[in-house]
Amino acid sequence: MENHNVINTPIDPKQIKGWGIDADPKNDPTYPMRARMNISQDPDFKHRPEALQPVETEVLRSIERPNVSAVFGTPEPPSGLSGIIRRFAFHFSENQYPHWLPLLLADRVNVVEGVVDDLVHGHVPNIFAEKGYKAEWKHSPQTLVLKMAAFTAVTAGTILWLSSGNKKKKPVKRSRF
């Protein structure tokens, strides 16, 4: 019995009746479809700009491309624990969860690192100001009060719950039948 579950031999699509009948660029809905160009139609598809930005700092690179792009940003090179996580993430392609999820984790770690870095440099972050609560207090004070009350309640509840866990629990009598 013939096995259809294999790669078929390609055929010339031009042999198919009606092939390309609507391949009029005017029928394409909108730009950039009109300027569509296949790799095979582009004799210069590997073209790169003449000058390349020198790599003077650590730049993480997607493994879906062979090289570093001709220009790139260098504001915050990977560092610390978040940097280690980010380097791990770039071992995987953009198609993989192990690429994106560690990057999100690294972002959260980086926030803690940012606070520590502030403190190390003698700066206590003004969370109230950084969160723009001055504007919220001006334009929607009731929302801010509600948020603060909810935060206080959750914090107090958590502390109470955690502290109650230290007490010895009374043994539960089990009924026999």
Residues near other proteins (CB under 8 A): 29-32, 35-37, 39, 42, 45, 47-49, 51-54, 59-62, 64-65, 68-76, 82, 86, 90, 94-97, 99-101, 103-104, 106-108, 110-111, 113-115, 125-127, 129-136, 139-140, 143
**Which residue number, 140 or 158, has a Cβ lying nearer to other proteins?**
140
* Nearer CB in complex with other proteins: 96/158: 96
CB of 9 to other proteins, least distance (A): 28
CB of 16 to other proteins, least distance (A): 22
3-state secondary structure the chain: CCCCCCCCCCCCHHHCCCCCCCCCHHHCCCCCHHHCCCHHHCCCCCCCCCCCCCCCCCCCCCCCCCCCCCCCCCCCCCCHHHHHHHHHHCCCCCCCHHHHHHHHHHHHHHHHHHHHHHHHCCCCCCHHHHCCHHHHHHHCHHHHHHHHHHHHHHHHHHHHHHHHCCCCCCCCCCCCC
Q: Could you tell me the smallest distance in angstroms from the CB atom of residue 91 to other proteins?
A: 13
- Smallest distance, other proteins to C-beta of residue 122, A: 14
The nearer residue to other proteins, 47 or 173, going by C-beta atoms, is 47
CB 117 to other proteins: min, Å: 8
In degrees rounded to 5, what are phi and psi of residue 107? -60, -40
